Structure 1
Amino acid sequence: MSNNNSDRQAYFIGGGLASLAAAVYLLEDGGFKGTNIHILESLPVLGGSNDGAGNNQDGFICRGGRMLNEETYENFWELTSRIPSLEIPNMSVKDEILAFDKANPTHAKSRLVDANGNKISVTDMGFNTEDRLQMVKLFFSDENDLDNVTIRDWFGDHFFTTNFWYMWQTTFAWQEWSSIFEFQRYMKRMLLEFSRIHTLEGVTRTPYNQFDSVILPLKTFLDRFDVNFKLRKTVTDLEFKETDAITVTEIKCTNALGETETIKVLDTDLVFFTNGCITDNSNNGNYHTPAKYQPNNPPSFALWRKIADKKPGRLGNPDPFFAKPDQTKWYSFTPTFKGNRMLKLIEEFTGNKPGSGALITFKDSSWRMSIVIAAQPHFKAQAEEVTILWGYGLYPDKIGDFVKKPMIDCTGEEILTELIGHLHFQEYETEIKQSVINVIPSMMPYIDALFQPRAKTDRPEVVPVGATNFALISQFVEIPDDMVFTEEYSVRAAKIAVYTLLGLDKEILPVTSYWKHPEVLAKAIHTSYRS
């Protein structure tokens, strides 16, 4: 560890996973003092899109969940191996998660359910010859030739009726208009999962939601070093030196009272910016009220646009990601129940106890609805007699099959009614609703922004050419071979940023190229023909 950095300051714009990870690397690998690390977050809570909140009286809420994978999240596991568990003495967060996962293995028995409530046999991917040819062609295409091409541009109509599409789409939240570039990255990075997508055995689950299981231990670790967390502090602009280099000189921000502040940045200080947040402008409803769709003026986009204009062509282009919220939005929901009647009914229907089944998709649902039944409790604050589940719909503008309204206009109760209909639990509807504490819907206008079709150059490099004290750490930076919408991408970006700016000769664990392993390829080929 170097001690030459003990007088330098570091500023993080955004308090999500990437910033917390980078703070750990500054402390442990860069020799920074905790008191010199400042994390500026506009919200009243850290964690960014890794959230989990609520209580037993008003209900719990997760806007989303992050799938982990033991084999492919190289830098995430290295990071969490450094962080002590808050629950188990002398154990790391990594070992805590993996021990929990091994004790609660995933093997979905009801991955797809049809309109009649029948579980579909999904060992058959459902491909025809054209589907397979297009998959192979995509595999060996140069990603530099895929700018602005969508999945719908690449595949024919039949592909979108296959079991594979229903499963792959809902596991990762694809839309037909998503980028084929990102789809190719996923196919290569996650080829290991292709042969087991019908059971989701490759999914690694945390003991609780990601806020309680990942963010809270990271925050607790950083607190020991007196890292400076400034919540409700919104950064509105960055000033750069009037040179060809990218050197930040000032950070302009406002606090919760609307007061402005300017932070002077020395040449030797470091600035890290989370450019783009997929949960910007999200809004929660409740059992009686829909969540509001409020897509205007997402703050992380506004700041990214502002600084990109100051250094044209060098800090990326946010427009393709944040200009079409009607294409990037979807609606999630978290029901909270008193007692376990609803979960018991689902367990009897699926054959999976809570925590073992991963995702259940109602493939004929007009909303393309899916649900997850996590191991209980899913929140540290959750009482023993309280249970929760989580779900989402990819097509929130479509009219429901049982509630004749668009999902985007539905209350928590109406979404629960739709779910009860797809499960064919109508005879238990009164009983189920009597046990409800709350159903909290969440509208996220930009949750799929990172999958939007775009040119490769629209994502900036983590450390842009000419940057002397500035890096970008988010799901909207360009990292060769890796895939966005993952914890790994944030952690990898953080490590690249810190090690590059500090000139550290330390290893950044490479992307594991499972798609080049003969045995993985052989399994994938067999799976594509499996019946």
Structure 2
Amino acid sequence: MRKKNTERQAYFVGGGIASLAAAVYLIQDAGFEGKNIHIMESLSILGGSNDGSGTESKGFVCRGGRMLNEETYENFWDLMERIPSLEDPSISLKEEIFTFDHANPTHSLARLIDKDGNILSVTDMQFNSEDRSKLVRLFFANENDLDDLTIRDWFGDHFFTTNFWYMWQTTFAWQEWSSLFEFQRYMKRMLLEFSRIDTLEGVTRTPYNQFDSVILPIKTYLDQKGVNYHLDKTVIDLQFLDADEITVTHIHWEDKNGKAGKTGLDKGDLCFFTNGCITDNSNNGSYHTPAKYLPENPPSFLLWRKISDKKPGKLGNPNPFFQKPDETKWFSFTATFKGQFFLRLIEEFTKNRPGSGALMTFKDSSWRMSIVVAAQPHFKTQDKDTTILWGYGLFPDQIGDLVKKRMSDCTGEEVLDELIHHLHFEEHGSKIKSSVINVIPVMLPYIDALFQPRKKSDRPAVVPTGSTNLALISQFVEIPEDMVFTEEYSVRAARLAVYTLLGINKQVAPVTKYWKRPTVLARAVHTSYRS
């Protein structure tokens, strides 16, 4: 007899937003009991790459930053509408975020800064006729012809010196060797942003960091439903039936003490696997200690490699994504200060109050350094007289302009010295540094792995052909027309996984094809020529 959904068990490998979202959809749209949902996570906390942690005394840290978009995150906002706010349970997270964002709109007045400390006018994208021609050709190219090509393969030298490239690159963390396939999808999916890339007005902000504003409310909802969490437990293998079909029978794991075990799946039970995590093997430093570069044996990629070898041609190919960490790494930092002094200097310089600006990029920085000052407080536990800013460098192996070391070898203090230099705030340096609580550098070996050149077939389907109980939910699955490195991609994958595996007759919100709308196209053409 076929199991009822109320009797089925669901097991999640990975505790990021995709797993949490899928758990919500299992409960709300499939009738699963929360007590029958099990989330296994190798870390001691849920949230995956949507993190935010720290204390007043030791400083705060976010490894990365995730921008949201009101118009193009169709499934993400569906999820947010289903979860009550922790601040006011009578409203949804969607309403809470939109209310905050509309009251604190983004309009950057200092998007690019040159080596002399001048805020540049960036309404002119600085394209020449060749750049425009190649952009148009790429826009209409068949993506099936773009396997293994890089952005550098397509564009000439001039393109990489334009205002557009500096802004587009640092907004989304592109490299010249990134996948042309992904770049084309971004061009289409984010065409709305092309005409406002100089102000980043399309960015939607959450009241706090995304752990506090997104992950914590979802976890609280799942707590109330009785969902089980198995933290500090690393899944090391999935066992399949010896058949052509893809049916998981056992999940093999190890806990933080090295104890091994396995969990069996009965007929009708489900397994969801986050096949590849971009924050695998990240490492935090401190004000006096550099972060360590530890690229060996990333757990989620190794597990993906292990199971794909068992089912050749059915579960994708992880090799292009995790075998070149020197190409996929970058270096972030979160600075925590006592008092308002440094942020007020930045506000005076940019004319943006905290939370109203966006990414500020020092375009001549050898590290290609950018910073963003969010609305304060950025953490729920942050004192009103404590301030933070976040930044990152796309070229961590380059020698600094002031600090003659690779960014990846720098302490938090040395990163701050370099930032003060690029802001030309040296006269205030001692006062700025006297207010420091901590500057925490973070090395992320696989943060750009999802942009690596690849074949279209290297990413598996959310529910592979022949699967009876396994779905893959990550930034490394293939979803037509959508773009990776977004919250939307993870939630869309989760929703597709649940509806497909269980045959639920509900629609996953489709990708909105703004790139086909005449008004959007007209604004894009105008932007490419404006000066």
Whether the 8 Å contact between 1:248 and 1:267 is mirrored in structure 2 is no
State the AA in 2 paired with 1:104. N
Check conservation: 1:400, 1:406, Cα contact below 8 A. yes
Question: What is the one-letter code of the residue matched to 2:301?
Answer: F
1:3 to partner: Cα distance: 9.7
CA positional deviation for 1:107: 0.3
Number of equivalent positions: 530
Question: Gaps spanning 5+ residues in structure 2: where?
Answer: none
**RMSD of the alignment, in Å?**
0.8
Greater shift in the superposed pair: 248-257 or 517-526: 248-257
Look up the match of 2:307. 307
Match of 2:239 in 1: 239
Q: Which secondary structure does the structure 2 equivalent of 1:229 belong to?
A: strand
Residue pair 1:247, 1:267 contacting (<8 A) in 2 also? no
Q: Which amino acid aligns with 2:423?
A: L
CA–CA distance in structure 2, aligned partners of residues 437 and 125 of structure 1: 39
Distance between the aligned counterparts of 1:185 and 1:163, measured in 2? Answer: 20
Deviations 1:183-242 (A, max 9, x none): 000000000000000000000000000000000000000001100011001100001011
| CA distance in 2 between partners of 1:69 and 1:228 (Å) | 31
Contact 1:115–1:422 (CA under 8 A) maintained in structure 2? yes
Give the letter for the 2:143 counterpart.
Answer: E
Find out whether 1:57 has 2:42 as its counterpart: no
1:333 aligns with 2:333: yes
Cα offset for 1:256? 1.7
**Quick check: 1:384 aligned with 2:401?**
no
Q: Is residue 3–residue 268 contact of structure 2 (8 Å, CA) maintained in 1? A: no
Question: 2: CA distance between counterparts of 1:88 and 1:357?
Answer: 27
Distance across 2 between alignment mates of 1:418 and 1:248: 51
CA distance in 2: counterparts of 1:207 and 1:222, whole angstroms: 21
Alignment of 1:261-300 (within 5 A): 261-300=261-300
In 1, Cα distance between equivalents of 2:507 and 2:89: 28
Query: 2:98, 2:144 → 1: CA distance?
Result: 37
Q: CA deviation at 1:95?
A: 0.6
> Which position in structure 1 is the counterpart of 2:500?
500
1:305 is displaced (CA, Å) by 0.2
Question: Separation in 1 of the partners of 2:411 and 2:158?
Answer: 34
One-letter amino acid of the counterpart of residue 421, structure 2: G
Structure 1 residues 19-55: Cα deviation after superposition (integer angstroms, max 9, x where no partner)? 0000000000111110100000000000000000000
Between the aligned partners of 1:261 and 1:34, the Cα distance in structure 2 is 23
Between the aligned residues of both structures, percent identity stands at: 73
User: Match of 2:193, SS?
Assistant: helix
| Correspondence 1:353 to 2:325 | no
User: Hey, what's the Cα distance between the residues in 2 that align with 1:35 and 1:86?
Assistant: 22
Q: Give the C-alpha shift of residue 267 in structure 1.
A: 2.3
Distance, in Å, in 1 between the alignment partners of 2:267 and 2:118 is: 63
User: Within the alignment, does 1:27 sit opposite 2:21 as a pair?
Assistant: no
The residue aligned with 2:473 is 473
Q: Aligned with 1:334: secondary structure?
A: strand
1:381-530 matched pairs, under 5 angstroms: 381-530=381-530
In the TM superposition, structure 1's runs of 4+ consecutive aligned residues that sit over 4 Å from their partners are: none
8 A Cα contact 2:49 2:279, kept in partner: yes
Q: Which residue of 2 aligns with 1:316?
A: 316
**For residue 479 of structure 2, what is the amino acid of its counterpart?**
I
SS for the counterpart of 2:101 is: helix
Q: TM-score, normalised by structure 2?
A: 0.99
Kept in 1: contact 2:106–2:201 (CA 8 A) = yes
Does the 8 A contact of 1:280 with 1:444 survive in 2?
yes
- Separation in structure 1 between the aligned mates of residue 368 and residue 458 of structure 2, nearest angstrom: 30
Correspondence for 2:9: 9
Contact 2:111 2:361 (C-alpha < 8 Å) held by counterparts: yes
Find the aligned partners of 1:269 and 1:167 in 2 and give their Cα distance: 46
Give the residue type in structure 1 aligned to 2:467: A
CA contact (8 A) 1:3 1:31 kept: no
2:109 maps to: 109
SS at match of 2:203: coil
* Residue of structure 2 in register with 1:165 after alignment: 165
Contact kept, 8 Å, 1:4 with 1:31, in 2: the verdict is no
Per mean C-alpha deviation after superposition, the further-off stretch among 372-381 and 257-266 is: 257-266
Quote how far apart the aligned CAs of 1:89 are.
3.4
Within 5 Å, give how 1:155-194 maps onto structure 2: 155-194=155-194
Q: For residues 82-122 of structure 1, give each alpha carbon's deviation from its aligned partner in whole angstroms, at most 9, with x where no partner exists.
A: 00000123110011001000010000000000000000000
Letter in 1 for 2:456: K
**Offset of residue 509 of structure 1:** 0.4
1:196 pairs with 2:192: no
Q: What SS does the corresponding residue of 1:389 show, helix, strand or coil? A: strand
Matches within 5 A, 1:45-84: 45-84=45-84
Cα distance in 2 between the residues matched to 1:401 and 1:257: 44
Paired with 2:128 and 2:327, the residues of 1 have a C-alpha distance of 28
- In the TM superposition, residue 283 of structure 1 has moved relative to its aligned partner by 0.1
TM-score by length of 1: 0.99
